[in-house]
């Protein structure tokens, strides 16, 4: 059974239609890359799937692991195993990363019928996940994202992903603003978390990240729809030729 099935999804923000009939099926174990020019609807897709209340779904269905995703509150989606790595992670002064993750992990474990961690177990679990993304101890102890560099914020997203162990992770332009070392760390974290049971949707502007996280499928999103799908070679072709040839082909058709 597929993990995520999106049928004819239409969504708008501030009276403007962005997604105009989006279809996608993701199976466990797969990595899908979604590429496309600016304004094509990539980040809207991520926000809608995570349940951002600023976006309005006007049509379509989304089935997530046998459940109606669009009926769920954002926190239910997270507890059911959907994770969004934010393009712009929010700074939350006064809330420590540790306390934040303690609350989040407790909610998710409760929902999944798992015993809560005791303090010692939690610290050991956190230490293991921190090492995965090479997040230093001092960052983990600080307020969530406050005063973090761009790269540190993105690593913190991947750290949170590792802590919450989602079935489906959506990485929204996680590569933007990363230098090559940070990119490698983030990609290696994702690769270590890949398994036959989980899946990833990687939203990106550039092919660069896909050198490190090799996708099973690449889709081109343009004007609110997927206009072309292929394998990793499609990403290379896009890198080489840009998006204009797709736009031209569509105009001719």
Which tokens hold the place of 1?
A: 């059974």
CA dihedral 203, 209, 211, 213 (to 10 degrees): -60
Q: For residue 169, which phi and psi values (nearest 5 degrees)?
A: -115, 135
Q: What's the closest the beta carbon of residue 159 comes to another protein, in angstroms?
A: 12
Query: Binding residue for another protein (CB under 8 A) from 23, 98, 100, 205?
Result: 100
At a CB cut-off of 8 Å and minimum separation 6, what does 63 contact? 2, 4, 5, 7, 69
Query: Binding residue for another protein (CB under 8 A) from 36, 41, 89, 224?
Result: 89
Query: Binding residue for another protein (CB under 8 A) from 19, 31, 69, 84?
Result: 84
Q: What's the closest the beta carbon of residue 24 comes to another protein, in angstroms?
A: 20
Question: 40 vs 156, which CB is nearer to another protein?
Answer: 156
Give the number of other CB atoms < 10 A from CB of residue 1: 8
Query: Binding residue for another protein (CB under 8 A) from 16, 93, 118, 119?
Result: 93
Separation of alpha carbons 30 and 194, rounded Å: 9
Alpha-helical (H) ranges within 71-176 are 74-80, 97-111, 119-132, 137-141, 150-164
Should residue 114 be labelled a site residue for another protein when binding is judged by CB under 8 A?
Answer: no
Should residue 74 be labelled a site residue for another protein when binding is judged by CB under 8 A?
Answer: yes
Query: Binding residue for another protein (CB under 8 A) from 50, 210, 227, 234?
Result: 50
The residues binding another protein (CB under 8 A) are: 50-53, 73-75, 77-79, 83-84, 86, 89-90, 92-95, 99-100, 103-104, 107-108, 111, 143, 160, 164
């Amino acid at each position: 059974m597929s993990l995520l099935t999106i049928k004819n999804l239409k969504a708008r923000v501030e009276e403007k239609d962005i997604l105009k009939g989006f279809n996608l099926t993701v199976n466990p174990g797969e990595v899908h890359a979604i590429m496309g020019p600016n304004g094509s609807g990539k980040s809207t897709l991520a926000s809608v799937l995570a349940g951002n209340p600023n976006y309005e779904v006007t049509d379509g269905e989304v089935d997530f692991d046998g459940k109606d995703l669009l009926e769920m509150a954002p926190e239910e989606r997270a507890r059911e195993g959907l994770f969004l790595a934010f393009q712009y992670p929010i700074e939350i002064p006064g809330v420590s990363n540790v306390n934040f993750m303690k609350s989040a992990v407790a909610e998710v474990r409760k929902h999944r019928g798992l015993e809560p961690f005791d303090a010692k177990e939690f610290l050991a679990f956190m230490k293991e996940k921190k090492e995965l993304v090479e997040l230093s101890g001092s960052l983990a102890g600080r307020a969530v994202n406050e005063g973090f560099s761009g790269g540190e914020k993105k690593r913190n997203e991947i750290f949170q992903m590792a802590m919450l162990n989602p079935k489906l992770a959506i990485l929204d332009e996680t590569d933007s603003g990363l230098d090559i070392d940070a990119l490698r760390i983030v990609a290696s974290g994702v690769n270590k978390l890949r398994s036959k049971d989980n899946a990833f949707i990687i939203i990106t502007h550039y092919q660069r990240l896909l050198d490190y996280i090799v996708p099973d499928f690449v889709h081109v999103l343009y004007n609110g729809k997927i206009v072309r799908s292929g394998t990793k070679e499609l990403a290379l072709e896009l890198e080489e030729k840009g998006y204009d040839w797709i736009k031209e082909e569509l105009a001719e058709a």
